[in-house]
Amino acid sequence: MIYKLIDEVSLQANFGMQDMALILKQLSSRIVEDILQEESEQIASFDLKEIRKVIGKQLPALIKEVIDAKK
């Protein structure tokens, strides 16, 4: 999804840690929407607020891994 931001010209191809806030802002809601669309049956019993909370906690570490791997 990070590379989709580049394709949409929302993010420069040479992104790095300095772009973390922008990436988080752009991806958080997209990931929630994607999960709700793709996994709606499996997560029907989960609270949307809890899903957002888990994503909010895990996403920064995952983005950091992508940025570190890109170097």
12-56 residue pLDDT tens: 999 999 999 999 999 999 999 999 899 988 888 889 899 999 999
pLDDT at 66 exceeding the cut of 90: yes
Q: pTM value?
A: 0.79
Asked if residues 27 and 60 have their Cβ atoms less than 8 Å apart, the reply is no
Given the structure tokens 């609270």, which residue do they identify? 47
CA-CA distance, 19 to 10, in Å (whole number)? Answer: 11
Q: In the chain, what are the domain boundaries? A: 2-70
pLDDT for 44:
84
Given the structure tokens 């993010």, which residue do they identify? 11
pLDDT for 22:
94
Assign 70 a pLDDT band (cuts: 50, 70, 90).
Answer: confident
pLDDT for 40:
87
